[in-house]
Structure 1
Amino acid sequence: MKKKWAVLLYSALSLSLLAACSDSGGNEAKQSAGSDDSTLTVWAWDKNFNIPIMEMAGEYYKKDGHEDFKVNVVEMSNEDTKQKMVSGFTSGVSEGLPDIVLIEDYDTQSFFINYEDKFAELSNDIAFEEFAQYKVDAVTHNDGVYAIPFDSGSAGLYYRTDYLEEAGYSPEDMQDLTWSEFVQIGKDVKEKTGKWFVAFIPNRGTHYMQMAMQSAGLWYFDDQGKVFFKDNPVIREMAVILKDIEKNQLAKPVDYFAAEGIGAVTSGEVAAVNSAVWYSATIKSAEDQAGKWAYTNIPKLETVENATHFSNLGGSSWAVLEDSPNKDLAIDFLKTEFAGNDEFYQEILVDKGAVGTYIPSQTGEAYQYKDPYFNDAQIYKDFSEWSAEIPGVDYGVNTNVAVDALRSVLQDYFDDKLTLDEMLEQAEEYYNMQVGE
């Protein structure tokens, strides 16, 4: 199983929803973990969110009485992180691996099941009852807890009020949309403003499917862990939605979370973004657009009973490597700041839009903050309240394989080479071939 999973990770160069910019190169010489006993090397992605937050945590820890402490955060895409971790684990060579690594919640079970002995078990060090239970569940394996939960992925629809007004829509018109209404608005925006409606590659738009599935309490797998494509009502509805977006050229075809996708949003090329609360930091990085953005809940499915307007996208956790020469320091650092520092959480909430899942931090005044960028809307209060309505799902161990299977056939469906039924049948066959079922 370990070998098969490693091969899949090597071959799937862009499965993750949140893949960010690749390592900048200048940090290559600094990647070796444990370069001294007061420096921690951390692998993370997203220079607008995860990276500056980890650097801020390092400054807090230094002020907490650890004057010589340093945190060396290496910017590395999610995909590169996974591939380099698997390479190190399978080769048995720990040199060059980090002390702490950021792992997306969709990937945690695969890592901990296949490489359990490579991660430090933390239940004796961290009070996990103080974190949101759905996040703790994501990093629990065989009664052990192998990472510290970090951010919530509570999702919403961000939109440019000026572009929508030009297309004939008010903020009231954007409330409680269905997915088909969302597409129609996109058509009107493109026709009347000439702007792209969204920015992502439709045949790789499985993050839309995942938001929609979680909003209905469903996932790629059934209760027995078997692949659930052909009869999954969410996948069927969202495949049609994605095809409509592609056919009408509503999406600028760029990688959603790579530099070109972020640039399309921050340069003003697009009118809307379906993403999580953590994406607010990226939107706010375009200071010239302050006051032009608003948000609402995500669109709702029409064909699925009990569907909601609430979902999760992404979210991640911090894991410590068992073989790190600085394991004890890494655990103490994470415990002190990410599992105990309310002031730190209040600051990253306002500064970076980081809605943490550390429960004691959620009663602070920062959650009442009226953000001038969003015309004094209480964005953190709203997204936090939405998070309480998110249906829970079991991500299983093969989410990335399921993503790859669907992406392998979506374009043929868009091009009318396959019917919807044929497309989903082929996707199931691909998935079963990869996992050996």
Structure 2
Amino acid sequence: MKKKLGLLFSSTLSLILLAACSGGGEEASSEDFASADDNTLTVWAWDTNFNIPIMEKAGEYYVQDGNEEFKINIVEMSNEDTKQKLVSGFTSGVSEGLPDIVLMDDYDVQNYITNYEGKFTELSEDIDFSQFAEYKVDNATKDDGVYALPFDSGSAGLYYRTDYLEEAGYSQEDMQDLTWSEFVQIGKDVKEKTGKWFVAFIPNRGTHYIQMAMQSAGLWYFDENGDIYLKDNPAVREMAEILKEIEENELAKPVDYFAPEGIGAVTSGEVAAVNSAIWFSATIRSAEDQAGKWAYTNVPQLETVETATPYTNLGGASWVILEESPNKDLAIDFMKTEFAGNDEFYQDILVENGAVGTYLPSQTGEAYQFEDPFFNDAPIYKDFSEWMAEIPGVDYGNNTQAAVDALRSVLQGYFDGSMTLDEMLEKAEETYTMQVGQ
């Protein structure tokens, strides 16, 4: 009989250590930090519907695999709080105020492993990284070391309402192999003939569209030297024009795409299409009355970039182990056993949590052959996982958020005609340079 894990769970959003860092506040509970108990691991992660229950399940499997005394203490911590507390701990030098394992957004990994050298455990001697999606490993690599264990995929596609598209005159065959300009034209027809919004996001904050397009061509905000790369970046230029056209034609319901109002626009039937990752399929599926009305295909493809593909990523995270963890060896063995070696675990979290992992051997399992009745019996997990293997790897660099902020600060000026495309991108580069001092 399988033994049940005695789970220690804390939902405290703790404040780290030094109240002086924020000018006041309560000290964090010691239960939020790495334990002196050599059978216990403390993990910081966010999302009680996804990452946290998955880590709980990994702990249960580890107990079943013969580690009967093992306990896992999972602390719910937002991504922003996690980053703040890591920086506070690293700069104060008080390692006992930190956990053993941290969930880290992929866009932040390079920043942290580069700027906080020696704070994260190098894993290549313990983990076979050839078994993970290449683009995720590339992002976790610095020099010759790999400092994060890849977790979930942000493999992305275009979801669309077949009934709305049919009303606008488009079949599912018409939705295959689209370019971004064709995507916009379809949106115009959908709005004219159905009265529906085509998509839901705020165009002048639509950098997630730019990022999906860039990664699909193996490009990013920075060139091979790490310098800001906006004005001469063909993907940025093409997508700025696409976003402007979406704005001018009022194709997008102007709401934060990942806030409740953005999600609600999709689940209430207000929009016809969504470009997002596999993890968004759970949100779409939550609108049970829309079963059979959704289909999916690859994201649209760039026309002006020779390296363009229809494969890209949005979001996703990886696990890092802190070098000064008092239980580092246990943490490595736990992650190696479950996240880098347990096919059954990955099949379980796919079925129960909708998590497409980036551990490649797991993707031949039966769960990946599941034909989803919500999507008219399409093998959604198989398709998105096959696309994942084709996603071009890019170096997210140390300052992705600064580049995002700089670009967002000037997009509206381009949309309203007060700046040309060149002027807008020049201004974005100047703003970035002022922010990061390059």
When normalised by structure 1's length, the TM-score is: 0.87
Q: Secondary structure at the match of 1:116?
A: coil
| 1:59 matches 2:60 | yes
1:239 aligned partner:
240
Structure 2 Cα separation of the partners of residues 353 and 25 of structure 1: 22
1:129 aligned partner:
130
Instruction: Classify 1:52/1:197 alpha carbon distance in 2 versus 1 (closer, same or farther; 3 Å).
Output: farther
Structure 2 Cα separation of the partners of residues 425 and 211 of structure 1: 22
Q: Secondary structure at the match of 1:121?
A: coil
1:34 aligned partner:
34
Q: Which amino acid aligns with 1:168?
A: G
Instruction: Classify 1:421/1:49 alpha carbon distance in 2 versus 1 (closer, same or farther; 3 Å).
Output: same
Q: Secondary structure at the match of 1:385?
A: helix
Structure 1 Cα separation of the partners of residues 58 and 11 of structure 2: 23
1:385 aligned partner:
386
Q: Which amino acid aligns with 2:292?
A: G
Superposed counterparts of 1:87-106, under 5 Å = 87-106=88-107
1:4 aligned partner:
none
| 1:353 matches 2:366 | no
- How big is each residue's C-alpha offset from its partner over 1:323-348, in whole Å with a ceiling of 9 and x where there is no partner? 33333332222111101110011122
1:209 aligned partner:
210
- How big is each residue's C-alpha offset from its partner over 1:141-187, in whole Å with a ceiling of 9 and x where there is no partner? 23222111112222110112222223332212211111122122223
Structure 2 Cα separation of the partners of residues 210 and 45 of structure 1: 23
| 1:402 matches 2:398 | no
Structure 1 Cα separation of the partners of residues 74 and 197 of structure 2: 34
Bigger Cα Rg? 2
Structure 2 Cα separation of the partners of residues 286 and 66 of structure 1: 40
Superposed counterparts of 1:410-429, under 5 Å = 410-429=411-430
Structure 1 Cα separation of the partners of residues 163 and 73 of structure 2: 41
Q: Which amino acid aligns with 1:151?
A: D
> How much has 1:39 moved relative to structure 2?
4.1
Gaps of 5+ in 2: 1-9, 15-27
Structure 1 Cα separation of the partners of residues 183 and 224 of structure 2: 31
2:166 aligned partner:
165
Structure 2 Cα separation of the partners of residues 98 and 294 of structure 1: 41
2:121 aligned partner:
120
Instruction: Classify 1:148/1:216 alpha carbon distance in 2 versus 1 (closer, same or farther; 3 Å).
Output: same
Instruction: Classify 1:408/1:245 alpha carbon distance in 2 versus 1 (closer, same or farther; 3 Å).
Output: same
Q: Which amino acid aligns with 2:154?
A: G
> How much has 1:36 moved relative to structure 2?
6.4
Structure 2 Cα separation of the partners of residues 179 and 139 of structure 1: 30
- How big is each residue's C-alpha offset from its partner over 1:90-146, in whole Å with a ceiling of 9 and x where there is no partner? 233345433221112222111001112221222232222322333222112232221
CA RMSD, Structure 1 to Structure 2 (Å): 2.3
The answer to whether the 8 Å contact 1:278/1:352 transfers is: no
Q: Which amino acid aligns with 1:387?
A: M
1:433 aligned partner:
434
> How much has 1:67 moved relative to structure 2?
4.2
Superposed counterparts of 1:308-387, under 5 Å = 308-387=309-388
- How big is each residue's C-alpha offset from its partner over 1:164-221, in whole Å with a ceiling of 9 and x where there is no partner? 2233322122111111221222233333333332222212211111111122222212
1:223 aligned partner:
224
The answer to whether the 8 Å contact 2:200/2:257 transfers is: yes
Runs of 4+ residues over 6 Å off in structure 1: none
Compare 180-189 and 29-38 and name the one that shifted more.
29-38
> How much has 1:25 moved relative to structure 2?
7.1
Number of aligned pairs? 414
Q: Secondary structure at the match of 2:394?
A: coil
| 1:143 matches 2:144 | yes
Instruction: Classify 1:54/1:264 alpha carbon distance in 2 versus 1 (closer, same or farther; 3 Å).
Output: farther
Structure 2 Cα separation of the partners of residues 62 and 162 of structure 1: 48
> How much has 1:378 moved relative to structure 2?
1.1
Q: Secondary structure at the match of 1:41?
A: strand
Gaps of 5+ in 1: 1-23
2:20 aligned partner:
none
> How much has 1:269 moved relative to structure 2?
2.9
The answer to whether the 8 Å contact 1:33/1:324 transfers is: no
Q: Which amino acid aligns with 1:231?
A: D
| 1:266 matches 2:285 | no
Compare 306-315 and 186-195 and name the one that shifted more.
186-195
